Amino acid sequence: MIPEVIVNEEQVKKLLDIGEAVDAVEKAFRLYALGQCEMPPKLYLDLPQFNGDFRAMPAYIDGVAGMKWVSVYPKNSKYDLPTVIATIILSDSTTSVPLALVSGTYLTSARTGAAGGVAAKYLARKDSSVMGLIGAGAQARTQLAATKYAVPGVQLVKVYDPRRDMAEAFSSDLSAQLGLDIVVVDSIEEAAQSDIIVTTTPSRSPVLLKKNVSPGTHINAIGADAEGKQELESELMLSSKIVVDDMAQACHSGEVNVPLSCGLLNRQDIYCSLGEIVAGIKKGRESDDEITVFDSTGLAIQDIVCAKLVYEKARVASSIA
C-alpha cells in the first residue's frame, strides 16, 4: 500500500520550522521519560567494503508508528552527496495503514539540532550569551539555529573548522539570517571560551580538552554516533555532569562509549537522561560553576515526531492548494 502523502527533501526544508522542531523534540523527550512511547534499539547494518553503514530506527509515539532508514557514508562528498541520507515511513498506529513517506536527510539534521537546543535550554546557564562551534558542517547549522531559538540570549558565535573556507561560508550565510555576530576563530581553544560549546566532528580522538573548558560551560557533544568515536577528553567527561539522550544507546555508540570501554568511566557516572530533566524527574543545572555535557546519539522518537509534524503540515498545504 502506497502512503497517501509523499514529502520530498525540498518540501521538508520548507515545512519543518526549526522552532517547531525544538518544541516537538522536547515533547518527545518528555513522553519517553514518562513511558508513553516505544523505541527498540536501532539496528546497524555495517558495510565496511563501502565505507559506510545503514541504521533502522523504529518507534511509536503520539499516535503514529514509524521507521527511519538512514545511511552514514562519510566519503559521499566525492559524489557530491550528503554524508547522511535518510527516508522515514509513518503509519497509523491503530490500523497500520501507511500515512506518509518523508525524506529524512534534512529532517535528521534538524531533529539533531533540536535536541541540542532542548539540552541547552535545560542545562546551559541562564545568562549564556556566547556559543562556540567546533565544526562548521550541515549539523552545526541546525545546532546553531535551534540553540538560538531555545536560548535567545545567545548573541556571539565563535566557529572553528580546520577547513577555514567552510567556517567563512558558515559565518557569511548565517550571520544575517539569524541576526547573530558570527566570527571565525583560528583554534579550538578560542572556540571553547564560550558559555555553550557544540562539537559536530567525526573524530575518533578527543578534540575538546578539559584544560580548555571553563567552569559553568555547557557542552553538546553531537559527533559521536558509533563505537570508537570520541570528541571530548575522558578527563573532561569525568569532571562534568553527563546527560544522555538514551542510556543504552549512548553507552554503545555515544560520547561515553570510549571512556566506558576503557574503564575510565562507569555507568554510575552518568547523571540521567535529558527526558528525565524535561519531565521534571531530575534537576538540570544546579550551579553556575558545574560543567554539563549532553551526549546526543539521535533517537527514533525525534525523527517520528518531526516527520509527523511535516506530514500534518503537508496535508494542510495540499488541502489549501
* pLDDT tens-digit series, residues 75-103: 998 999 988 899 999 999 999 999 999 99
- Reply yes or no on whether 68 is catalytic: yes
Residues 34-57, buried b or exposed e (16+ Cβ, 10 A)?
eeebebeebeeeeeeeeebbbbeb
Tens place of pLDDT per residue across the chain (321 aa): 888 899 999 999 999 999 999 999 999 999 999 999 999 988 999 999 999 999 999 999 999 999 999 999 989 989 999 888 999 999 999 999 999 999 999 999 999 999 999 999 999 999 999 999 999 999 999 999 999 999 999 999 999 999 999 999 999 999 999 999 999 999 999 999 999 999 999 899 999 999 999 999 999 999 988 789 999 999 999 999 999 999 999 999 899 999 999 999 999 999 999 999 999 999 999 999 999 999 999 999 999 999 999 999 999 987 664
The answer to whether domain 5-107+301-320 and domain 125-299 are alike in fold is no
Which pairing describes strands 270-273 and 196-199: parallel, antiparallel, or unpaired? unpaired
Do 86 and 69 contact (CB within 8 A), yes or no? yes
Give the predicted TM-score (pTM) of the model. 0.94
Output the CATH code of domain 125-299: 3.40.50.720
Domain ranges of the chain: 5-107+301-320, 125-299
Which stretch of DSSP H or E encloses residue 307? helix 300-320
Q: Which of 273, 270, 271, 275 is nearest to 260 (CA)?
A: 270
DSSP 225: -
CA-nearest of 41, 20, 35 to 276 is 35
| The one catalytic residue among 13, 14, 27, 68 | 68
Asked if the 5-107+301-320 domain carries CATH number 1.10.287.130, the reply is no
Please give the backbone phi and psi of residue 319, each rounded to the nearest 5 degrees, phi first. Answer: -70, -35
Q: Which has the closest alpha carbon to 143: 203, 219, 246?
A: 219
Amino acid occupying residue 28: A
